[in-house]
Chains A and B, each alone.
Chain A
Amino acid sequence: MSHRTFTHLDALESEAIHIMREVAAECTNPALLFSGGKDSIVLLRLAEKAFRPGRFPFPLLHIDTEHNFPEVIEFRNHRVKELGERLIVRSMEDSIKQGRVVLRSENQSRNPFQSITLLDAIAELRLDACIGGARRDEEKARAKERIFSFRDEFGQWDPKNQRPELWSLYNTRTHPGENMRVFPISNWTELDVWEYIEREQLEVPSIYFAHWREVIPRDSGLLPVSHLVQPSEGERIEKMMVRFRTVGDMSCTCPVISQAKNVNEIIVETAMTRITERGATRMDDQTSEASMELRKKEGYF
């Protein structure tokens, strides 16, 4: 290696490793949020780079909506086993049983309620830091978020009152009951994530690649048919070649039409794409211009 080969991916990787090690050293009880999605897959490789040959100095935590694609849960379990690290799963079903989450209907999107289960898990496990895979390029509310994002005892984000973040001197301090959300890949774009997945030859769940799937065209997106999503009157099911750009709640995560069968083809499509990641794939972020900002203020990632 020499100066000449220090690429943007090397710079982003080194920054993320540095951030993870700061969390490990300065926070008392951190966890890494792992959902089986591509961003958290990247986080796991960065954690391997940061801490091997040692074990991760934190457990992995999955906030399970139980509206996940089965391929993603299968992948999650396989990857955790391969790593030999500890996975904690907290499920929204528990929050529903305890009356902490009240749904209007069984098939309603569960994304907005993830915050409640997450905040409950933070309190139960006494976490003072959660490492997450959010990126600033995803959404305009995220563009203003710090790498170490402070949350008060209600888990709330106050965009007008964030700690200034200078150089790479992160202020990790919290009082009991407060916590940090830490985003090591804040500065990565969707394209950077795929390029890193290619460079590191990381496995991803199969639904990221183009496959035939039954979908319902609704509003401007395509909804995947499942036990949660069935056609309403006047809608029809179509079979299309699609892939998912994000893997969230099955009831509101839309695939895009694609021919990309491998990571390299995804990179080419991503480099040429004309629609933002969330604009194309998340119905819940389109309800109002400020929906992500409002959800974040309430404790969402």
Chain B
Amino acid sequence: MSEVKNVRLDRAELLRFITAGSVDDGKSTLIGRLLHDSKSIFEDQLSSIARTSNKRGMQAVDLSLLTDGLQAEREQGITIDVAYRYFATPKRKFIIADTPGHEQYTRNMVTGASTANLAIILIDARKGVLTQSRRHAYLASLVGIPHLVVAINKMDLVGYSREVYERIRNDFAAFAQGLRLSNIEYIPMSALNGDMVVERGDKLTWYEGRTLMDLLENIDIEHDVNTDDFRFPVQWVCRPQTEELHDFRGYMGRIESGSIRVGDEVAILPSGLSSRIKEILLYKHSFEDAFAPQSVTLTIEDHLDISRGDMLVKAGEQPQIKKEFAAMLCWLSEQPLDSRRKYIVKHTTRMIKGMVNQIDYRVDVNTLTHETADSLKMNDIARVVMKVQQPIVFDDYAHNRGTGSFIIIDETSNNTVAAGMIC
């Protein structure tokens, strides 16, 4: 363990990914392997899991123990909830949303997937494409993860058979055609032995594609953000009202999509008033242009009444403005949906009252068939019609994750009870 962990990462990009699969698929082993082979495990962590492996009577160090988190989990030998892991190579910094694979899977995977650029779906080569692999693929498509990697794992247990790999790949591809999934990469691997994770190993010589790490480091993520439509939900209005900045009004927020230049004509929605961008600022710097996902401060040429919850868009790049809209909803709470009740809807920087007006159908995530429903319980996914008190400014989720997503909050408990994607 004398190797250097990392070199400096001055120009590294950030890639967020999620791993989908159950404990049996070797998910924890895969993450442990990525951390280990990219030299991201610290000595004290390694010696701690070596001690635990030893205590449990294991022969080799169990890399899956690295992702074991809380005391409660160690006692029960399960993983609860989403945990975040970090590692880096000279090319990229990675954030893994590690979600456990038990019954609450839908809720956890949707949560982890909401910020991910990429999902790795693990398939046990001995078992092939199972119901749960289909469920994972469906959820990845629902949340619109831009890139999908199907890791056909445990190749060591099927004699590194090319035939097995190809059969599973074809099965998965046939199924994925029905979903809106493009950009699928297939990799045969053995996370346990490290074949095709970071190193190629010497067993899978017939496979000419990239290793998982090669893919994670090089996949093009620049176009994962919508670069066409400028969307700027106002978070905070800065009015210092000091002597020298008496008239200063800065509109602070994060560019959700697209880009903006000084001089561009913008519309303020929902009012529809228009003006031009005067300055793009951040701290002591001013810029000629800015793009998603930068956080900036904008000033405009005219004095208009703009507040949090308003959205600045570029003239000619109009979103929709409505009080009623269709959405795919994932119910996250143990408390089922009460369709008579009003909830709080948080969309971009607005919080308004709203309700689920109608449930079109519920999706059986195992068979992908539609069924009727009059309520929703935890882990249910349904197409619904939402109705909110005031019009909101939005795009379809498929076009714009930032302006097409919302959460539903229960006003009494203050819990987040559902995640919605406008369609």
Contact = CB atoms under 8 A, between A and B. Distances in A.
Contact of A279 (B1, B42, B253, B289): B42
A293 interface: yes
Interface stretch (B158-166, B174-182, B235-243): B235-243
B423 interface: no
B115 interface: yes
B70 A141 contact: yes
A191 B9 contact: yes
Q: Report the contact-size class of chain B (Cβ under 8 Å from the partner).
A: 35 or more
Interface string B328-347: 00001000000000001011
A169 B110 CA distance: 14
B397 to A, nearest CB: 10
Given A8-B93, A53-B238, A166-B405, A3 B222 contact: yes
A272 B70 contact: no
Given A53-B238, A271-B6, A272-B5, A173 B43 contact: no
A160 interface: yes
A180 B248 CA distance: 31
Interface string A186-199: 11010110010000
Interface in B217-260: 222, 227, 235-236, 238-240, 245, 248, 250, 252-254
B419 A18 contact: no
A289 B68 CA distance: 11
Contacts of B416: 163-166, 171
Contacts of A175: 414
Given A49-B283, A162-B81, A274 B235 contact: no
A21 to B, nearest CB: 4
B240 A289 contact: no
B235 A187 contact: no
Which residue, of B7, B222, B332, B414, has the highest number of chain A Cβ atoms within 10 A?
A: B414
Which residue, of B10, B42, B283, B405, has the highest number of chain A Cβ atoms within 10 A?
A: B283
A18 B235 contact: yes
Contacts of A189: 86, 88, 93
Interface stretch (A9-17, A34-42, A109-117, A227-235): A9-17
B42 A275 contact: yes
A136 B16 CA distance: 15
B8 A267 contact: yes
| Interface SS of B by simple majority | mixed
Interface stretch (B185-193, B290-298, B353-361): B290-298
A195 to B, nearest CB: 7
Contacts of A136: 84, 86
Which residue, of B1, B254, B347, has the highest number of chain A Cβ atoms within 10 A?
A: B254
Interface in B13-69: 13-14, 42-45, 48, 68-69
B332 to A, nearest CB: 5
A143 B409 contact: no
Nearest to A277: B42
Interface string A19-32: 00110111000000
A250 B227 CA distance: 50
Interface string B190-233: 00000000000000000000000000000000100001000000
B80 A159 contact: yes
Q: Report the contact-size class of chain A (Cβ under 8 Å from the partner).
A: 35 or more
Interface in A227-286: 267-268, 271-276, 279-280
Contact of B414 (A17, A140, A171, A279): A171
Contact of A140 (B13, B70, B92, B111): B70
Given A18-B254, A174-B414, A191-B88, A271 B5 contact: yes
Given A1-B289, A137-B86, A167-B405, A173 B8 contact: no
A1 to B, nearest CB: 6
B398 interface: no
Nearest to A144: B83
A105 interface: no
Contacts of A167: 114-115, 401-402, 405, 407
A6 B250 contact: no
Given A8-B92, A187-B95, A276-B44, A143 B222 contact: no
Which 7 A-B pairs rank lowest in CB-CB distance, beginning with the nearest?
A279-B44, A290-B71, A17-B295, A8-B14, A8-B93, A166-B114, A173-B414
Interface of A: 1-3, 5-8, 10-15, 17-18, 21-22, 24-26, 48-55, 57, 136-137, 140-141, 143-144, 159-160, 162-169, 171, 173-175, 186-187, 189, 191-192, 195, 267-268, 271-276, 279-280, 289-290, 293-294
10 contacts: A22-B235, A140-B70, A143-B84, A164-B332, A167-B401, A195-B8, A195-B9, A274-B1, A276-B44, A279-B42
Given A21-B235, A53-B245, A53-B248, 8 more contacts: A22-B349, A25-B308, A50-B236, A143-B83, A175-B414, A191-B9, A272-B6, A273-B42
